[in-house]
Structure 1
Amino acid sequence: MNLELDFARSPYTGWTRAHWEAFVERMVGAVEPYRSPSGARIDLPGPASGNGSVSDGIEGFARPFLAAASLVAGRNGKDPGNLMERYARGLDAAMDPASPEAWPRPEELLQTKVEAASLVLGLQMTRPWLWDRLDDRVRENTVNWLSGIMGTWYPPSNWVWFRIIVESFLRENGGPWSATDIEEDLAIHAWMRRRNGWLSDGPGRHYDHYVGWMLHTYPLLWTHLFEVPDSLCSTSLREQWNIDLGRYTDDVLRLTGADGSPLVHGRSLVYRFATAAPLWMAALTGAGNHDPGLLRRAASGIVTHFENRGAFEGNGVLSLGWHGAWPAMRQTYSGPGSPYWASKAALGLLLPQDHAVWTSVEQPLPVEARNVSCVIEAPGWLVSGRKKDGLVTVVNHGSDHSEPGAEIADAPVYARYGYSTATVPPLAGPAAHNPLDNAVVLLDRDGLASHRTGFDTLFTRELEDGVLVGASQGRVRWIESDGDAAANFGTYQSGIMTPGPVVTVASAVRDGVEVRLARVDGPTDAVALRFGGWPVASSEPPLTGTGGEDLHPFAEASSQDLVSAVRNVAGLTEAGILVEKDASPLGEFVAIPWLATGTVTPGQVVVATVTLSRGKVDEPAPRVTAEPLTEGGHRITVAWHQGKPTEFTLPTWPAL
């Protein structure tokens, strides 16, 4: 069904609730041809995950079911496509131990613990139209199967919510459950809390989209869908979760590009528009008191961003990739059904048609309304967005999917200095595990680049005139791959490690222009210090150029209207551009400009401007001075082309 876009109510996307319902109908309907004979699996085409094809078929059943359940529940049981009947038939076969399509029990197959939670959420949403109408035998079999989670191990991460959700369903349906389990899992959730509404998905600095589509979404779904006694979850705890979600939603809105793209950062990016889930939870709970038209604009913008850029195959199935299919984004746990965690974006349909989130007029995203400039403390991000570009960039001085002091290789989707709504680090090819884009590295005699994971954050601050500053410091290392480097959770950890010196890096950001400074602290055998710029991708070879006077070399790459440039301010004498093929999901070609020193001088502060923009940045480069301090370190002054100078201290090692 083709619906006319409604630009009166939705001036930015044209989408209303009717468009959302039609979208979800298409999404869940497209997988039906791949349902197994008894209906217990949906076996989508594509390579199997590391968990095997049976597990993948269970994902194909459980994840689209979450979208189907949101649709039917939001229509108060209206189900013209007989979706609930199809899932009832499949559930019967899946839970019957005698069925040839019986699911492996949770104690037998780890991944079923994840899918059990999706199954239970869908059953809870549609209880009057599915669960309550099942034969007693099917309900008993289901409770028995779910009971297999009892006494089994769950990792101390977002997985604790899978256990809480399933045990709560068992509690309401006469199955075994443990108040101790839930109390312990809630304690782990509290342990993962960080500043201003952020959580780390496990120990250390594990910040990515799981914060939103899991660690904020599941707690509030739990209290919304289940009868949760105060003895398990107090009123004050629920209020705290609402406050946390409200603060986090502020950041989600600021991190969304004008084209609807979420920040391209972290693992499991194939889940795509699952990033809309916390926005709907904010609308459902009122957390943060955000304008409902703004929440819908952001959620609709995220979904249309992907639908309009080829996320669905010709057969209507959601591909494994980012915009279109890109198999190299597979991680060991990724199978053909995995992308359907994107079904969490359908949670907004639980809100009734007359809710303000559907009736209000769309409001502009922060980057559409004004320039964005802020610090997100927990992950150590300097966030900058320019209204004229619609791009949002992050300079990263605080997170790497590890802990301070770690001596492992950099994960390209976690440990780079920069992430944006328009670029992605190379995920295949040499640059994926030999850092170049948005990296400050030391090069050894063989041209191998150093890694920074395990660094310490020195500071992140917001100063006057919208200037953001941040700095990080740590001992780097070289890692020579042993040939077994494999992408999983975005990390590359396999190889021979050679320790290197301490490198201190700082950034001053104003109006999207980053002044990047680096200093090597201590002796080293490295032959050069290199700054890498933003990676720009295209279906055609990007335009590239290097030049400038001897004292002011630059390197620039452009793809359509997206321009990445690195310009020397002090100490960088060599310029170049790396162009790779088949390394990015955003285009066949990716280009990365870079600048480097001819030699490495310990104690010298090296400076460049690093920019990503739509069209060239014609502003003159700031003047930067680095004054040595008697107690060690440098006093940095950045004199912008207008406004007050920025001053901060770049401390010596060890700074902490």
Structure 2
Amino acid sequence: MRTLRESLRELDDRLLSPYTGWTRDHWAALADHLLLSARPYASDSHARISFPGAPGGYGSDVDGLEGFARTFLAAGFRVAGEGGRDPLGLMDWYAQGLAAGTDPRSPERWVRLDEHDQAKVEAASIALVLHLTRPWLWDRLTPLVQEQVVAYLTPAIGSGYPPINWIWFQIIVEQFLASVGGPCSAKDIDEGLALTDGFVRENGWYADGSERSYDHYVGWALHFYPLMWTEMAAGDPVADTRRAAYLERLGPFLHDAVHLVGADGSPLIQGRSLTYRFAAAAPFWMGARAGTPSPGPGLLRRAASGIARHFAEHGAPDEDGVLTLGWHHAWRPIAQSYSGPGSPYWAAKGLFGLSLPAGHPVWTAVEEPLPVESGDYQLAVRAPGWLVSGTRSDGVVRVVNHGTDHSHPGTNLTDSPLYARFGYSTATSPLLAGENSAEPFDQSVVILDEGGRPSHRTGFETTFTGRLPSGTLVGASRWQAHWVAPDAGQPDHGSGRSGTPRLGPWLEAISAVRGPWELRLVRVSAAAVPSSPLPIDAASVGVPGGPLPIGAEPAGVPGGPLSTGAAAVPGGPLRIGGWPLPADHDGPALDGPGREGREVAWNGALRSQLVPGPGLETSGVLQAPDSAPLAAWTLVPWCATTAPAQPGTWYDVAIYLGAQDPADPPALTWDGTETARVIWPDGTEDHLDTAEATALS
């Protein structure tokens, strides 16, 4: 029997799609395969689809609802794009599930919105599909089932939703209710829209709430739902006016987003809910549906098809046609505590392009190359504080992070490996399991305490993000090193954890990025740190280790309130971690070519290297088993001081990720005490004013 991968390859069209081979037929085949493979796991009435695997953190009742609602997305997109043509009988099949799931007397009834908050998420998917397929599903339901559906969705009205992307779930549900003559609160919608206006950041980006939370939700939720809502509310002057603003933001965001896809189609491996996989394609399809003038349809399809093809080629879905909790293959640690076996089917968001008919320009335009396939680039994305570097020779996209930590400036949380690392890429994953997931190692700058435990940086302050005249990118941040004893019983939602903090010295870091190299400068502040414990100023920091209250000003200057907020830890050795390289083996992968004075990890395709500068006397390569989803081992070069770091001294390390064996790293000299002179391997010369980069604006 042919595998899905083999079947899809037989459909390749290299004239229309010279980069991926994928056409609309591939996407339709993938959707049909997922939908038909899900049916054996459905209950008798089809109301619940319970995929194999241990229950998620919310229990099997929620898991079954997720399985229905998320595959329902795929069914709805499939039929909507075909104008109602439905050879698989998808609408009839899901209509049975709707009838039973919304029937309060049915043994297979769904968890209600007023029984579990997760039902609020799934209700939005159900409402969205009922809108998209109205002539072929809603209009054919019996009056009784229509009444049941309205009754099931009605608890959304006046209910509390977290002030993040979830607000859009309430808006979508209530807008659908209004469209079918059901109850609706204009107040809820108006207040929700006003709240989401507060998520807007520069150049088309949104934050997921008030925190510095930037991840794939920006595209698959915060750009997706506003434009879908304007379709649902078309003709309303408020919706029509807002649509223009939403479109104006989408174009610049998509410009940045296509720069974050690797040549192999991998999306950036950063942020929570990574197990949703090719849901990352959703914003590109939304750009096509909304008609953004740029990027063009050929590039949008190239990005979306590359992402889906990447996973199909690497075993997702699996041999049973199931999307497991994992990345390429099943790997449970990638999931958050809210994830169950039905959760990965949020990937159906990535099938949104199927809602567009075969004659749409996004399907008929010839594929255009991704930016990383066209040449090398350096892109500063100011909202998330990312320095983005793509290199054509290896197709890798790298992000150096000085602006994202899923928190506020001045907090004392543990670092989330998904948000607070210094670097993310399309070819590497942070360490997500094992001891080094909770204690930063890869892509980190830490002070080691008396017990050898690394400090955290969440709550840092961004001081600079930009580009030099040469095109070199520069970013900088500073933070107070802190160690946290996490409070027990906290769910894992992908962000850092609160607890009892101990505070150490302040650290400053500057990154200069060009091509596959980052030159990282690190300094321990000479500011004094109290030597005895002092009481925590709860008014300044909210709760110990917790986020600042919304609207509060951060207390985060060297020697300020946070410096006196907990027991002080004296400065210890400084350690810097490099790129976490996936490898099939531990020892043999270290046998790649290296040069004296460097730490090299090599997996046969890519190299992760460190070239430490003066004062970083010790170094090595961490070999971490089963700690990331890409391979059995992850190799992390590192370097450190052997004694406590000297305050006021700039330490430097050149950090590399790429396919080539680079002959020379960036060369650093100092013009005085605050200006660094850098000569890059391509001959470019830059001058970095460290005082300017580390000064708060």
Matched, 1:190 2:197: yes
Match of 1:86 among 85, 93, 112: 93
Q: Which residue does 2:678 correspond to in 1?
A: 638
Instruction: Name the residue aligned to 1:316.
Output: 321
Determine helix, strand or coil for the equivalent of 1:216.
Answer: helix
> Secondary structure of 1:312's partner?
coil
* SS of equivalent to 2:187: helix
8 Å CA contact 1:249–1:288 kept in 2: the answer is: no
Q: Give the counterpart of 1:151 among 142, 146, 158.
A: 158
Distance 1:546 1:530 in 2: 24
Alignment deviations for residues 84-134 of structure 1 (CA, whole Å, 9 cap, x no partner): 111001111011111111112211121111000000111111111111111
Shift of 1:370: 1.0
Query: Aligned partners of 1:501 and 1:652: how far apart in 2?
Result: 19
Please state if 1:364 is matched with 2:405: no
Aligned to 2:575: 530
Partner residue of 1:519? 523
* 1:650 alignment partner, SS class: helix
- Equivalent residue in structure 2 for 1:491, among 468, 488, 495: 495
CA contact (8 A) 2:462 2:478 kept: yes
2:76 matched to 1:99?
no
Q: Which moved more, 1:446-455 or 1:94-103?
A: 94-103
Tell me by how many angstroms 1:643 deviates.
2.2
Aligned ranges for residues 347-358 of structure 1 at < 5 Å?
A: 347-358=352-363
- Asked if structure 1 preserves the Cα contact closer than 8 Å seen for 2:448 and 2:575, the reply is yes
The separation in 2 between residues aligned to 1:650 and 1:242, in whole angstroms, is 39
What amino acid does structure 2 have at the position aligned with 1:388?
Answer: S
- 2:689 is matched with which residue: 624, 628, 648? 648
CA separation in 2, counterparts of 1:584 and 1:206?
Answer: 22
Give the Cα separation in 1 of the matches to 2:112 and 2:33: 31
- Structure-2 residue corresponding to 1:565: 609
After the TM superposition, which of the residue ranges 55-64 and 519-528 deviates more from structure 2?
519-528
Query: Which of residues 424, 427, 449 is equivalent to 1:419?
Result: 424
Structure 2 residues without counterparts, runs of 5 or longer: 1-6, 529-568
In the TM superposition, what is the alpha-carbon distance from 1:244 to its structure 2 partner?
0.6
Q: Partner residue of 2:307? A: 302
Q: Distance in 2 between matches of 1:286 and 1:127?
A: 23
The range that moved more, 520-529 or 446-455, is 520-529
1:448 pairs with 2:453: yes
Offset of 1:152 from its aligned partner? 1.1
User: Which shows bigger deviation, 284-293 or 343-352?
Assistant: 284-293
Letter in 1 for 2:605: D
Partner of 1:587: 631
With over 3 angstroms needed to count, the CA separation of the structure-2 counterparts of 1:60 and 1:283, relative to structure 1, is same
Whole-angstrom distance in 2 between the partners of 1:498 and 1:412: 20
Whether 2:181 is the aligned partner of 1:174: answer yes
* Residues 141-198 of structure 1 deviation map (CA, whole Å, 9 limit, x = unaligned): 1111111212211111101110111101110112110111111111111000001011
Deviation for aligned residue 1:640: 2.8
Q: 1:132 aligns with which of 139, 142, 146?
A: 139
Partner of 1:215: 222
Aligned to 1:232: 238
Shift of 1:615: 3.0
Shift of 1:652: 9.5
The C-alpha deviation readout for 1:462-519, integer Å capped at 9, x for no partner, is 112320011101111022457x586722234255421011000001111221000000
1:481–1:97 Cα change, 3 Å: closer
Q: 1:337 aligns with which of 342, 360, 366?
A: 342
Aligned counterpart in structure 2 of residue 607 of structure 1, from 642, 652, 674: 652
For residues 655 and 97 of structure 1, do their structure 2 counterparts lie closer, same or farther at Cα, with a shift above 3 Å needed?
Answer: closer
- Matched position secondary structure for 2:689: strand
Q: For structure 1, which segment, 567-576 or 10-19, has the greater mean C-alpha deviation from structure 2 after superposition?
A: 567-576
User: In structure 2, what is the Cα distance between the partners aligned to 1:93 and 1:541?
Assistant: 52
| TM-score normalised over the length of structure 2 | 0.90
Matched, 1:65 2:72: yes
- DSSP-derived class of the 2:475 partner: strand
CA distance in 2, matches of 1:546, 1:90: 56
Q: How does 1:452-471 map to 2 (within 5 A)?
A: 452-471=457-476
Q: Which amino acid aligns with 1:539?
A: D
> What is the rounded CA distance, in whole Å, between the counterparts of 2:574 and 2:36 in structure 1?
54
- Tell me the SS of whatever aligns to 1:465: coil
Which amino acid in structure 2 is aligned with residue 521 of structure 1? S
**Amino acid aligned to 2:648:** G
Alpha-carbon separation, structure 1, partners of 2:520 and 2:25:
47
Taking the aligned partners of 2:196 and 2:178, their CA distance within structure 1 comes to 21
Q: After superposition, where does 1:253-402 map in structure 2 within 5 Å?
A: 253-402=258-407
Query: SS in structure 2 opposite 1:645?
Result: strand
**Greater Cα offset, 526-535 or 612-621:** 612-621
Contact 1:553 1:572 in 2 (8 A): no
Residues 576, 564 of structure 1: CA spacing in aligned structure 2 closer, same or farther, 3 A cutoff? same
Residue 112 to residue 4, structure 1, CA distance change in 2 (3 Å):
same
Provide the C-alpha distance between the structure 2 equivalents of 1:275 and 1:648, rounded to a whole number of angstroms: 38
Distance in 2 between residues matched to 1:350 and 1:315, nearest whole Å = 26
C-alpha distance after superposition, 1:267-294 (max 9, x if no partner): 0000011010000010111224222111
Matched, 1:479 2:525: no
Aligned-residue offset at 1:73:
1.0
TM-score, L = length of structure 1: 0.95
Using a 3 Å threshold, how does the CA distance of structure 1 residues 652 and 20 change in structure 2: closer, same or farther? closer
The share of aligned pairs that are identical, in percent, is 47
> Aligned residue for 2:511?
507
Inter-CA distance 346–597: structure 2 relative to 1 (3 Å threshold): same
CA contact (8 A) 1:183 1:232 kept: no
Match of 1:631 in 2: none
Mapped pair 1:544 → 2:595:
no
Equivalent residue, structure 2, for 1:114: 121
Using the TM superposition, name which of 441-450 and 523-532 deviates more.
Answer: 523-532
Asked if structure 2 preserves the Cα contact closer than 8 Å seen for 1:637 and 1:648, the reply is no
Cα 1:22–1:465 shift into 2, 3 Å: same
- State the alpha-carbon separation in 1 of the partners of residues 481 and 322 from structure 2: 43
Specify which of 408, 413, 437 is matched with residue 408 of structure 1.
413
Which of 597, 600, 604 is 1:556 aligned to? 600
Superposed displacement of residue 625, structure 1: 1.7
Give the count of matched residue pairs.
646
C-alpha distance in 2, partners of 1:485/1:626? 51
Q: Check the 8 A contact 2:601/2:607 in 1, yes or no.
A: yes
Distance (Å, rounded) in 2 between the aligned partners of 1:218 and 1:170? 16
Any idea what the Cα deviations from partners look like across 1:24-47, whole Å, max 9, x if unmatched? Answer: 100111101011112110011111
The verdict on how the C-alpha distance between 1:492 and 1:459 changes in structure 2, with shifts beyond 3 A counting, is: closer
**Deviates further, 304-313 or 257-266:** 304-313
Query: SS at 1:544's partner residue?
Result: helix
Residues of 2 paired with 1:175 and 1:11: CA distance? Answer: 48
